[in-house]
Every structure is written in structure tokens, then in C-alpha cells.
Amino acid sequence: MPSLTLSSDRTCTVCTSLLDLPVERLLAYQLAMSPEAGTEAADELLFQQHLHQSVEADELSQLAFAASLEVFGASAQARAFVQLVTHIEQQPATDLSDQGLRDRLSYLLACGLTDEQVQVQHDRIAAELAVLVAPYLVTHPEAELRAVQVAQAQQRRVVTLCNVLLGGETPELTTLTQVTHALLDLLEPSTLLTDEVSSIHPQVRQHSFESLCLLLLHAQHDGRITLLPTPWQRKPNPYMLPLGLFLEHVRAVSSRLPA
């Protein structure tokens, strides 16, 4: 466990990890580190400063009073630090009462405990805690991106289905993005499946297929491609082309379309 040497050559030992602290002591440490922790001490300091001090008070009483003011004026970090102290001069620090903690902090401050020493220990504890919790804070950007893609595809298909039900007309594909969406709706790649449950409505699938066929027919009439008939066809029909050949024709046409 880390050992601190104070300016008066006194020593104190601090716990290695927060996991070494009992639960109630850990909660007290976290509470003391919170921004609101200084409120009670500040109120008590104000009260102490306005106490009537007898002129006849001896020097020892005045020193004790000054020490109490120093404790109540200490930072929240210093009050929290006391929870981390396990030994002072090799003697166990077991008194966790409010008065015991105040007396311990008063002793350490009188022995020369500095804010720099306190902050170093808090930084060490924070770094050690960050290492402990890091495995539980790991994100999976690939999974998050896939979830976004699935959500976007489902949203588009809902809109497409609504258009089909309301209009019933097969849209003409004029951009590469529209062709891409039509292909996704038609083929439904496995990367966009959610728990192996299809997210494409049959009408959306049929609508996308008809849109792609319409694109090929328009391209054929414009003389930009030549559709080869299958052996049992007298003339080409995009509805009866093998899937691989159908997709090759779609890619050839869509490559000429604007994004």
C-alpha cells in the first residue's frame, strides 16, 4: 500500500484500491468527493467562527480551536482523503466516526499534509477505477452502425409500402440511390436482417422488382442495352431472365444514372 511521508517526517498509509475499502467506507469516500460535500462543513465553520471565545482561554484551548477551524475549512478532497488512510505511524486507523475522522484529518494537517499529496492519491484512485470499469464501457461501433442501417431500411420500406397502398403505381427509377434501395428491397441482404425475420412486405418486394424491370425496359427501348432471351423465349422478357443475368443488366444501367 502507498505510504506518504509528511513534512514532519510522520507517515501515513493509503489503501491501494477502492476495492480494499469496506462498502460503508467506500460510500463515505464517494459522498465526501461530491460537490455538495463542503456545504455542511462550511456551515459549521461559519458557526465556529462566530462562537464567543473567552479571553481567559489558555493557549492549549486556542490551539485546539484553531485546529478545528482548519479541519472545517479543509477542502472536500482532504476530507475524502481521510477515508483512504488505513494507518498512521503504522497504527491502524479504525475510528470511522465523524469525530474520529475530524481528529485524524486535524492530525494529518498539523503534520504537514498538503493539497498536492491529497490530489496525487485521488488521481491514482481515479485512474485505477477507470481501468476497472473500462471493460464494462466498451462500445461496439460496428453493431451500432448495423442497427442504424437496419432502422433506416425498415423506415424506408414502411414509407414505400405506404406509397404502394396509397398509389399503386410502379415508380420510375432515375437515380443510383433509387436503384440501390430497390435492390435492397428486392433481395434483402443478410446484413440487414434482424433476428432472421424478414422486414420487407411482399408488396414492397414486388413493387421494387417491377421498378427494376421498368428501368430495364426503358433502357432497352433507348437502345442502351441488349437483353438476351433465355432458350425458351422468342424475345427478351426481363421478368423471366435468370437472377444473375437480371442483376448484371440492372448494374449496367444503374452505372449510367446520377447519384
> How high is the mean pLDDT of the chain?
77
pLDDT-wise least confident of 41-50, 59-68, 72-81, 93-102: 41-50
Cα 106 to Cα 81: distance, rounded to the nearest angstrom:
12
> Residue 55: its pLDDT value, please?
46
Angle at 237 between CA 234 and CA 239, to 5 degrees: 140
| Distance from C-alpha of 73 to C-alpha of 29, rounded to nearest angstrom | 18
Cα 69 from chain centre: 42
All structural domains of the chain with their residue ranges: 3-137, 141-254
Report, as an integer, the average pLDDT of 74-101: 83
Tally the C-alpha atoms within 13 A of residue 230's C-alpha that lie toward its C-beta.
11
pLDDT band, very low/low/confident/very high, at 66 (cuts 50, 70, 90): low
pLDDT tens-digit readout, 90-127:
888 888 888 888 888 888 888 888 888 888 988 988 88
Cα(57)–Cα(66) distance, rounded to whole angstroms? 12
Residue 214: exposure state from Cβ atoms within 10 A (0-12, 13-18, ≥19): middle
Expressed in angstroms, the distance from the first to the final Cα of the chain is 64
Point out which residues pair with 85 in neighbouring strands: 14
Instruction: Tell me the sheet residues that pair with 14.
Output: 85
Q: What is the pLDDT of residue 190?
A: 61
Sequence letter at residue 1 = M
Give the whole-angstrom CA distance, residue 41 versus residue 48.
10
Residue for grid cell 479504525: 94
Spatial separation of the C-alpha atoms in residues 3 and 109, rounded to whole Å: 16
193-252 residue pLDDT tens: 655 566 778 888 888 888 888 888 888 777 777 777 766 767 777 777 778 888 888 888
Does the predicted model carry a pTM greater than 0.75? no
Cα dihedral across residues 143, 147, 152, 157: positive or negative: positive
- At 203, is the secondary structure helix, strand, or coil? helix
pLDDT category of residue 79 using cuts at 50, 70 and 90: confident
List, in order, residues 6 or more apart from 29 with CB less than 8 Å away.
18, 21, 80, 83, 84
CB 204 within 8 A of CB 160: yes
Q: Which is more confident, 78 or 222? A: 78
| pLDDT > 70? residue 37 | no
Query: Does residue 43 carry a pLDDT above 60?
Result: no
pLDDT bracket for residue 69 (50, 70, 90) = low
- pLDDT, tens only, 139-192: 777 777 777 877 888 888 888 888 888 877 788 888 888 888 888 888 776 656
Assess contact for 28 and 83: CB atoms under 8 A: yes
Measuring CA to CA, which residue among 170, 172, 179 is closest to residue 254? 179
